[in-house]
Structure 1
């Protein structure tokens, strides 16, 4: 039943692609030869146009097939689907260009460029509509793939919760096999435990199962080898959920090193082009911010000079990316002898503040010189707020995963700050927000945080 439906769905995708490719070809022809763009060599012959259409209707679907766009991949996201269509469109276009170059003397490169754009948009739109329709069908309980989970422990429970939480993917857990005989006959997350792990052959013979997911804890891995030998004799799909994922902390996942699969437990969130993009973003916005705030900084500097003795700026050691220290710049809001007895965190109604210091700290005007820290590369516009090294060692002992906030550059503002976590608020909660930012970072998120900061995100009752 499932295979018949899958073949039917695949045929629908192929037919839809052919229709959209034909429509894209017609639109490209009209755009090139019947639009405002001058035509210098006359219209192409009908035979030549039909030959071009036949070429794309052969090359593009074949390329889509090679890109596995007709294969079942329920875990692929909408964005992933569009990106695969984009890559296949580029490849197919290059193949058409090569074939046309070697077989014909003249062809319209501009028309081909129009066609590539139209086909990408059209095919992507149809794929997204088909996925939306199919997701709704699956939510209603149709076209489901059955799963047998091996492992009734915590890892198996997480698998079942994940499947139940994503019904649009079209999976249904039929049963669970356990390593502990006493659990047979019980339920895990509402799913029956149908047998012991040794009963896998009997269970697969009795039940129509499309996929087996092995979710066995590390201490029970000895049972996996004979199980895999049994499953190797069957055509059922087999997936393994590694128990190592309990140790994944930040940007971990499956990687490949020279063809060797490796599970990364901890990685860098911003590498390659992500790092370049964030740095360019920081420089451009910092330059604009300095230009806009220059009159304010001049006024603050004058106020600091007139209300207290000492330097205008205060350079304090902070810890940034990869644990390296730098000196953060701030307008001075404390007396020169504020820390003569040792390092102390600021507190509400702190007696060490200068006459203008309370006002500057309340509205975060003392932070304005940090735009120069951004230009120098010590900081980013958005990121976890940097702490003083003298306090960090104690935080590391008290708060798990505290050190992970140093995987990125410290920021002038951050996700925690715009949510009111400033001053002497919970360090634990602040770290949770910082790690959420790191794990979900994007330039769009940075822009949203900056906008919320500009609209009053720093006007917190906890700022002092």
Structure 2
């Protein structure tokens, strides 16, 4: 959980999010490098390019890059983030922009018609420049902070597990440039956990004296939410200092799902259970679904026609089985599948398919085992009811059953259901004859929602292709 900055604006103790004031500057650098590298390579390749072509190509690339960058929050502070994570997000932003420009070249050939050598050179140069300046700035800042420049002093109020975890992180990451001055607590040492005794620097009053003497830049309050009254008292006392105050709440007692701070007027709220798909992330996810579903449907259209004929000829009933399931936000949707059974259960009671189930037709058994029965769901994706990757939708009857038995079950509906998902590529597909299997499936679903990224979707799609299409658990 990111800490929340408390700026001493007035006696009311108004809480605000700590905003990176350099984000606009970083965006300008990125856009400038993309434009400069493009124009430089045009000159080096001695290309004759129309002004409209230049504007179109740059507009598409820069727009998509900014959208992807926003979805990955590239313009946040990277002080404590890993180098690998930063490189991955910049790579994905460049890759997504390049893919969009290639796709656009097929639809706008009169405006986008660059040579392959030029295109590869520009993609490579832009990636090196966008990543290179970040690495250079990162190393410069780290060097300055380790040398004592651009450093800040900090104290922690709260001699508890949370407080000492924060202290260990500050001490282990000297590149942050935050020099810890001690941990302070009013409680007698006899009331502290054994491992925290003899480690308290002083009382809260001692901490405030240091702050009033301008010896402290940051004050971290690491206290449980149950101590709300005491926290407010400390905040009021901190308002008489010029230190920046951070509250580190013990929200770890909750299974937070994409928690984020939001403003309602002048009041700030925390959304505890939220979706990762908002703003640019939602647009990126939808674009990903449309591109993947359109491409896959173009490839599988003839096989789908063959399967449709086979279903019709081998058993009585409709070709497509339509079943009500829960979609985004738990709203009912209609999901398509090739009919694989002699019955069409879609009511308040739906019996899961078991091994050697007599209701499954001979062709249906093959379709289910190879996942071919689910091919029509790519149409659901284009309709916006489903995603290519996401938690698998269950029958409404099963949802109503498991939501009463599994804590957090309905949180999997904070995103669109998917044709494949993290649970499926990890072996949790098909029959869930025990409650424990469903619990594990839900855990994978929530893990997917918690750490969603385009790269994770790509990994799941590839894993589905290579190991998840044919499954022994699909009856």
TM-score by length of 2: 0.65
Structure 1 position 448 matched with structure 2 position 459: yes
Structure 1 contact 181–196 (Cα < 8 Å) conserved: no
Give how far 1:315 is off: 1.3
Which of the numbers 247, 251, 256 marks the counterpart of 2:258? 251
Q: Determine which structure has more spread, i.e. the larger CA radius of gyration.
A: 1
Task: Provide the C-alpha distance between the structure 2 equivalents of 1:285 and 1:310, rounded to a whole number of angstroms.
Answer: 31
- The counterpart of 2:342, out of the listed 331, 335, 359, is 335
Kept in 1: contact 2:321–2:339 (CA 8 A) = yes
| Residue 296 of structure 1, aligned match among 298, 303, 310 | 303
C-alpha distance 384-28 of structure 1, shift in aligned 2 (>3 A): closer
2:418 is the counterpart of 1:407: no
1: CA distance between counterparts of 2:182 and 2:383? Answer: 58
Shift of 1:344: 0.7
Aligned length: 374
Give the structure, 1 or 2, with the largest relative contact order (CA under 8 Å, sep 6 or more). Answer: 2
Q: CA RMSD in A?
A: 4.3
- Unaligned segments of structure 2, at least 5 residues: 1-32, 49-76, 91-124
> Which of 310, 325, 335 lines up with 2:317 in the alignment?
310
Unaligned runs of 5+ in 1: 1-22, 39-71, 84-117
**2:339, 2:43 → 1: CA distance?**
68
SS in 1 for 2:155: strand
Tell me if the contact between 1:147 and 1:210 (Cα under 8 Å) persists in the aligned partners: yes
CA 1:172–1:359 in 2, change beyond 3 Å: closer, same or farther?
A: farther
Residues of 2 paired with 1:182 and 1:140: CA distance? Answer: 35
Deviation at 1:122, TM superposition (A): 6.0
1:153 to 1:185, Cα distance in 2 relative to 1, 3 A: closer
Moved more, 309-318 or 243-252: 243-252
Report whether the alignment pairs 1:427 with 2:438: yes
Q: Aligned-pair distance for 1:194?
A: 2.5
The question of whether the paired residues in 2 share the 8 Å contact of 1:384 and 1:434 is answered with yes
1:176 aligns with 2:187: no
CA distance in 2, matches of 1:336, 1:298: 22
CA 1:422/1:189 → structure 2, altered by over 3 Å: closer, same or farther?
A: farther
Q: Which residue of 2 aligns with 1:14?
A: none
The separation in 2 between residues aligned to 1:123 and 1:381, in whole angstroms, is: 30
Name 2:62's counterpart in structure 1: none
When normalised by structure 1's length, the TM-score is 0.67
Does the 8 Å CA contact 1:384/1:414 hold for their aligned counterparts? yes
1:418, CA displacement in angstroms? 1.5
Please say if residues 415 and 433 of structure 1, whose CA atoms lie closer than 8 Å, have aligned partners that are also in contact.
yes
CA distances 1:388-444 after superposition (whole Å, capped 9, x unpaired): 121212322222222111111111111211122112352222222212222222333
Deviation at 1:376, TM superposition (A): 2.1
Query: Quick one: structure 1 residues 386 and 448, their matched pair in 2 at CA, closer, same or farther if it must change by over 3 Å?
Result: same
Match of 1:279 in 2: 286
* 1:149 corresponds to: 156
**Pairwise CA distance, 1:449:** 2.0
Deviation for aligned residue 1:364: 0.6
Tell me what 1:462 maps to: 473
